[in-house]
Structure 1
Amino acid sequence: MKNEKLLLLIKAPYYDDYGPMKKAAGTYFPLGLGYISSYLKERGYDAALIDPDVQSVSKEQIAERVAADNPALVGISFMTPQFHTAKDICKAIRKSAPGVQIALGGAHPSALPEETLSEIPEADFAVVLEGEETSLELMKFLETGAPALKDIRGLVWRDRENIVVNEARAPVADLDSLPFPDRALIDQSLYRVQSFFSYSKNTATIYTSRGCPGKCVFCCSGHRLRAPVRERGMESIMAEIEHIRSAYGADYLMIKDDTFTFRKTRVYEFCDAIEKNHPGLKWHCMGRANTVDFPLLKRMKEAGLNDIFFGIESGNAEIIKRAKKGITPEQSRNAVEACRNLGIRTYGAFILGLPGETRETAEETIRFACSLPLTMAGFSILIPYPGTTVYEEHFDKGCGPADYSSFVASSGIHYTRAYTGMNGLTPEELPALMARAQRRFYLRPAQIARMLRSAGPRMISGYFRGFFSLVAKERYRRRSHKAASG
């Protein structure tokens, strides 16, 4: 008998998306699915979660679970690198439970809803962008027949042989009206944050805002999936922190906002609130070099900031300008040096292969990264993800369906397709430059000493296992390319 009140949520697994760097990667509770669950439960429905990344279940086992639970709706969330695993899960579910309704959500279906339903014929719906209200109305339709499918904003659905795109749904305006994410969906001890961020095994993640003000050409939040910044009130944030500390013993907080430092006055307000309500709690956030200064960082440090992530992207001012990042190399240097002087650990992210990139500008970025007193750095290859400006302007769509399984920074992509006209680098140069950047940055005696001083053993062992695996993979790639070419 069908459980008309149950939404079974599935987070498509990453599997090897991080490639050889998976040893340094972490697993995170899917807060977005947690919000959908609590929103539905507050209104009389039920939800369950399958997360293969921490539960180690196969697609066949997922399908068996669906058949056994017989939910009203299965919701599968995924980003572009998980496209093929999501598709395989849909196929397995359709074979095991042919009558179940399947909805797709997450970044990839939100960016390409019509294409996604066309390419995954086993799915019935796509939920675009924020899913709380759309999921609720879809569950009501499946239970009672109302509201009509055509009236559910934010939904894309099948009408016989046609795919219908409904009116867009506005983002949730009042974030404080949402219940806290349903962390009881799954054992929280299964999750392990990225080893760089924390010495603690009891780390919790939280959103204090939604949306991003940026217009970066490489990020879907800056283009197709862009939403206005909406902020939660301090009372709500402090109450959620109290809940996760008392219920789950969290002693380290990872703030997942796209840009936590977007508005300085709010950051000062947060520092005052967390110092008053949760003194001694250590935390991490993502910042932007053009929104922080020494006084702000000093106050953040006093209030428990342990480490901060900066998207530096490039050491070349013109490349950054073309990427519409809105920062300068000088601002990045000032921010990182201020953090060093204050004892705040820093992680700098760099992208190789941005529009206009040449070997010279890439080498400039590597030199710039090595000149900064960063605790750690990450180098990736630009991937033209659907929903980004680079995808729409540069991705060669004339070569048939994209092989989304290769849309992973560690694997390289089919650059002859993806990078047509974007930069002056060959398909062989970009992976080699990424491996070179890792070697140049991490094998310096000064950098090794810096990491030993400021990093925990889990961070060092995890990242260096991944690093040496990356180097080995690059050597294998070069040998394979040489053998194939003659």
Structure 2
Amino acid sequence: MTEILLIIPPFCYGDLSEAGPVYPSMGIVCVAATLEHAGYKVKIIDMFAEGYEESKLKSCLEDPELKIVGVSSVSATFKISLNILKYAKEKRPDTTTIIGGPHITILPDETMKETYIDYGVLGEGDNTAVELADLIIKNKGSPENIKGLCFRKDRTLIKTEKRQFIENLDELPFPAYHLLPMDKYRSYGVYDSGRKTTSMITSRGCPFKCIYCCSSELFGGRWRPMSAEKTIEFIKKLYDEYGIRHIYFQDDEFTVSHERAMKICDWIIDKKIGLTWECLTRVSHVDNELLSKMAKAGCKSILYGIETGYEEGLKQIKKGITLEQAKNAVRLTKKNGMIAKVSFILGFPWESKEEINKTIDFAIKLDADYSFFTILCPFPTTEVYEQIAKEGLFVPEFNMEMYSAMPAADSLIRTKYLTSEEIVQMMGHAYKRLYFRPKYLLKRMLSLRHFSELKRNFKAGLSVLRFTVKSMGKKAKLAKTT
């Protein structure tokens, strides 16, 4: 029997679907844990991992004890999240529908226009969810007194006082992994073949202020870590009780504190448990000593956000790194036997083909194991959004619902020099130049160690090829750029 049904909506990478990993959405898993800790009966449906099954959703909605249906949504899953909540309200009008996550936190007014949504949770939802459940199920308190909430009252949208961020993450309960389909998750398949895998978040927020990122709005512009000791406790529990042998640390910046990272690595090394893992961090937050320790502790892959391949671009986006730091981090990562992955963003307002080609050229020279290109998706509250709006660079048909379209498949903007179609073409051009070089293809083939890796890399390659062909077929003509 279930009182609260939480849903992770399906997410599609479009033509790049086979190239993407599948991990649990840790925000909703943490919220589920706090609700269970408060005594509520909770169920999670992970539609990202299991797919959208209306029959399963319908079955859950038939539970007579069900009181709340909640969805956590990013912009790319917003449209399907609305469909899920609308369906839930139609089937069970007596239930209370709630939406949380980054999208409503950034766009509460637009989101709450839908009358089948009863409440919106703004910001971190751990404590807000418990107080809201107390209100709905126990009739305790009033919505006006719950911080971090929005709701309609007499057709007027009410937004309560902003909830303060949780300072001590060690106080949070162990995430509700037992509610997840733990056998459905996968990494990129390059180093976790046959190993049960999941994700963790051991810190929240980022202390940097890149112009394209809304992390400051979502998490307060500060880095709030779980202690090394608590992180180790959670890793041990995943290893011993869930059989997890590969972990993806979803922290925005895993190595902000070298001391904390070193303690975690030392424990993994000392216990000789054979755990493998991967993480994200900044090129300015690693050195050879740390990378060597991470490799010995089982780290197999690091993703670095570099975003542009020219120094002036790094300054304009306020990234706070240099190209030399990027080259050094990738070189040292590979030297220590780990896979170096990097990400780039194409289509900043000032970019022409010349600037984008500088980024592509740098990506090729950098020679990371994997490079990912995305088109700039300007979110409200970010500095780049304000710049684009001021300069009138959104596509004519732009509206907030377009955020539900996967940015890799289209562009919401043009630049001062390129149309939206040309930006998409340039991304296809980037993937073509990078991944279809004979040298790169040979290196990838020689690096494969398992048949499962070959199979997944083949599917990923087909996905990239489909996307490249589609993007190069756009109506806008791409001038010769090589």
TM-score (norm 1): 0.91
Structure 1 regions of 5+ residues with no counterpart? Answer: none
| CA–CA distance in structure 1, aligned partners of residues 245 and 326 of structure 2 | 29
Deviation of the 1:331 alpha carbon:
0.8
Select which of 400, 403, 422 maps to 1:402.
400
Amino acid at match of 1:162: T
Select which of 415, 418, 421 maps to 1:425.
418
Deviation of the 1:60 alpha carbon:
6.8
Aligned partner of 1:175 in structure 2 is 169
Aligned partner of 1:241 in structure 2 is 235
Amino acid at match of 2:467: L
SS at match of 1:378: strand
The Cα offsets for residues 243-283 of structure 1, whole Å up to 9 and x where unpaired, read as: 11122221112111101011222222222122123543221
Aligned partner of 1:296 in structure 2 is 290
Cα distance change of structure 1 residues 278 and 126 upon mapping to structure 2, 3 Å threshold: farther
| CA–CA distance in structure 2, aligned partners of residues 405 and 209 of structure 1 | 27
SS at match of 1:428: helix
Aligned partner of 2:159 in structure 1 is 165
Does 2:383 correspond to 1:389?
Answer: yes
| CA–CA distance in structure 2, aligned partners of residues 139 and 318 of structure 1 | 49
Does 2:70 correspond to 1:75?
Answer: yes
| CA–CA distance in structure 1, aligned partners of residues 208 and 456 of structure 2 | 30
Deviation of the 1:405 alpha carbon:
5.4
Deviation of the 1:471 alpha carbon:
2.0
Does 2:464 correspond to 1:470?
Answer: no
Deviation of the 1:237 alpha carbon:
1.4
The Cα offsets for residues 365-424 of structure 1, whole Å up to 9 and x where unpaired, read as: 111000012111111111113343323432468967423255422211343xxx4xx542
Aligned partner of 2:112 in structure 1 is 117
Aligned partner of 2:480 in structure 1 is none
Does 2:261 correspond to 1:263?
Answer: no
Amino acid at match of 1:11: I
| CA–CA distance in structure 2, aligned partners of residues 69 and 386 of structure 1 | 40
Does 2:320 correspond to 1:326?
Answer: yes
Amino acid at match of 1:439: K
Deviation of the 1:458 alpha carbon:
4.5
Aligned partner of 1:358 in structure 2 is 352
Does 2:129 correspond to 1:132?
Answer: no
Greater displacement, 396-405 / 137-146: 396-405
Greater displacement, 53-62 / 26-35: 53-62
Does 2:308 correspond to 1:310?
Answer: no
Aligned residues: percent identity?
A: 30
Aligned partner of 1:193 in structure 2 is 187
| CA–CA distance in structure 2, aligned partners of residues 387 and 76 of structure 1 | 22
SS at match of 1:68: coil
Deviation of the 1:61 alpha carbon:
5.1
Q: Give aligned pairs, total.
A: 469
| CA–CA distance in structure 2, aligned partners of residues 328 and 199 of structure 1 | 35
Amino acid at match of 2:90: K
Amino acid at match of 2:440: Q
SS at match of 2:328: helix
The Cα offsets for residues 442-475 of structure 1, whole Å up to 9 and x where unpaired, read as: 1122212332233432452232121111123224
Greater displacement, 70-79 / 385-394: 385-394
Greater displacement, 135-144 / 453-462: 453-462
Select which of 24, 35, 44 maps to 1:40.
35
SS at match of 2:248: strand
Amino acid at match of 1:24: A
Does 2:443 correspond to 1:450?
Answer: yes
Aligned partner of 1:286 in structure 2 is 280
SS at match of 1:140: helix
Cα distance change of structure 1 residues 342 and 453 upon mapping to structure 2, 3 Å threshold: farther
Cα distance change of structure 1 residues 337 and 298 upon mapping to structure 2, 3 Å threshold: same
| CA–CA distance in structure 1, aligned partners of residues 112 and 6 of structure 2 | 18
Amino acid at match of 1:50: I
Amino acid at match of 1:450: K
Select which of 409, 412, 415 maps to 1:411.
409
| CA–CA distance in structure 1, aligned partners of residues 136 and 303 of structure 2 | 43
Select which of 5, 17, 40 maps to 1:22.
17
